[in-house]
């Protein structure tokens, strides 16, 4: 009865389709459709380990137990970059503290610059209540760094926490460094991290970065990954996503470079290195720049899962808050 005065059957069908699409947009909002349909995956400090069953449960659990046992005997520095992440920071803080608690001891170094929301306040409060946390906060508005490309800026920021680890005696007896994205909506698997410590013939272990976009299971952090041909290509994977090729419990995969939202580094292997966002004038991912000579033993662990959710704020930067919101509504699926 709603369209009784609309002339023409085709126009009526078109209006129904438009109305349904508008309802879908309102339901989805600024997040991905997967985030809206499976909210429990994105709103908890506890990672849903049972949601990702391993290929061989007994072998996987054996590695998890061995990994946690080793972790309890070593110390780790957990690092990250953040800007305008106030909505997700409480969850990220809880996740970091939970991961740190798996080790003999831990420290945290977080770099922040030029946030316009409550991010600095949240970080300062965290530092005040947790003596293991060090916050670096500054503005680059009048700095030459602002003129650099995005990856060159990120390299500068990451080199700040590297330099602190190198120069401060506080971190001299720490064994490993974990670098985590501070805006991972679904967090990361501590069991997955444990499986990385079940073997120690590596310098870097990158994560299996899962992103559900257009309801496809994708490997989210392709930008940091080399070589990319560890994934098969073809029509099936274009339709359903390449992320289905990695299975929890699969062996570590040798790569040249990777990150995936959370990577583990043997501290001694990276203390003589720096991040770089360009090589010979060519813009690259800063994680590639850290191992530009490909001499570090770098692996991707299919079990070390991270869930990305809606990230890449720069992708939706339009110059206005309303433009940012509209772009996320229409283009972030």
pLDDT digits (tens, 9 = 90+) for 52-101: 999 899 999 999 999 999 999 999 999 999 999 999 999 999 999 999 99
> What are the tens digits of pLDDT across the range 11-55?
888 888 888 877 766 766 666 777 777 887 888 899 999 999 998
What are the phi and psi torsion angles at 136 (to 5°)? -110, 120
Counting the structural domains of the chain, the total is 1
Give the pLDDT band of residue 318 (cuts 50, 70, 90).
very low
235: in domain: yes
- Residues whose CB falls within 8 Å of the CB of residue 21, separated by 6 or more in sequence, listed in order: none
Q: Domain with 152 in it: what CATH number?
A: 3.90.550.10
23: in domain: no
Residue 84 is part of which domain span?
34-331
d(CA 113, CA 263): 22
215: in domain: yes
d(CA 132, CA 303): 28
7: in domain: no
9: in domain: no
315 vs 116: which has the higher pLDDT = 116
92: in domain: yes
Give the pLDDT band of residue 315 (cuts 50, 70, 90).
very low
24: in domain: no
3: in domain: no
Q: What is the pTM of this model?
A: 0.87
Give the pLDDT band of residue 330 (cuts 50, 70, 90).
low
Average pLDDT of the residues of the chain:
89
- Residues whose CB falls within 8 Å of the CB of residue 189, separated by 6 or more in sequence, listed in order: 47, 49, 52, 303, 304, 305, 306
What percentage of the chain has pLDDT greater than the value 70? 88
The HSE-up count of residue 72 (CA atoms within 13 Å, CB side) is 6
């Amino acid at each position: 009865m709603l369209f009784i005065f609309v002339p023409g059957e085709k126009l009526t069908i078109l209006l129904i389709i438009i109305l349904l699409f508008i309802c879908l947009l309102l339901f989805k909002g600024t997040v991905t459709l997967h985030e809206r349909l499976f909210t429990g995956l994105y709103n908890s400090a506890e990672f849903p380990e049972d949601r990702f069953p391993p290929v061989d449960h007994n072998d996987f659990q054996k590695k998890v137990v061995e990994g946690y046992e080793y972790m309890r005997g070593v110390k780790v520095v957990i690092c990250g970059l953040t800007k305008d992440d106030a909505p997700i920071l409480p969850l990220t803080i809880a996740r970091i503290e939970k991961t740190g608690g798996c080790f003999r001891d831990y420290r945290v170094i977080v770099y922040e610059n030029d946030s316009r929301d409550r991010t600095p306040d949240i970080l300062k409060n965290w530092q005040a209540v947790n003596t293991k946390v060090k916050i670096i906060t500054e503005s680059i508005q009048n700095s030459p760094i602002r003129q650099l490309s995005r990856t060159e800026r990120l390299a500068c920021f990451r080199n700040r926490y590297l330099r602190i680890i190198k120069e401060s005696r506080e971190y001299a007896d720490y064994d490993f460094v974990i670098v985590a994205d501070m805006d991972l909506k679904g967090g990361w698997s501590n069991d997955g991290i444990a499986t990385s410590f079940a073997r120690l013939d590596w310098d870097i272990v990158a994560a299996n970065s899962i992103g559900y976009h257009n309801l496809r299971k994708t490997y989210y952090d392709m930008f940091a990954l080399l070589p990319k041909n560890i994934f098969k290509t073809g029509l099936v994977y274009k339709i359903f996503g390449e992320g289905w090729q990695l299975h929890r419990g699969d062996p570590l995969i040798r790569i040249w470079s990777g990150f995936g939202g959370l990577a583990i580094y043997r501290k001694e292997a990276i203390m003589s290195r720096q991040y770089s966002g360009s090589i010979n004038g060519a813009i690259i991912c800063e994680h590639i720049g850290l191992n530009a000579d490909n001499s570090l033993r770098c692996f991707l662990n299919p079990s070390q899962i991270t869930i990305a959710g809606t990230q890449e704020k720069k992708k939706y930067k339009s110059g206005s808050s309303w433009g940012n919101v509209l772009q996320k509504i229409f283009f972030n699926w």
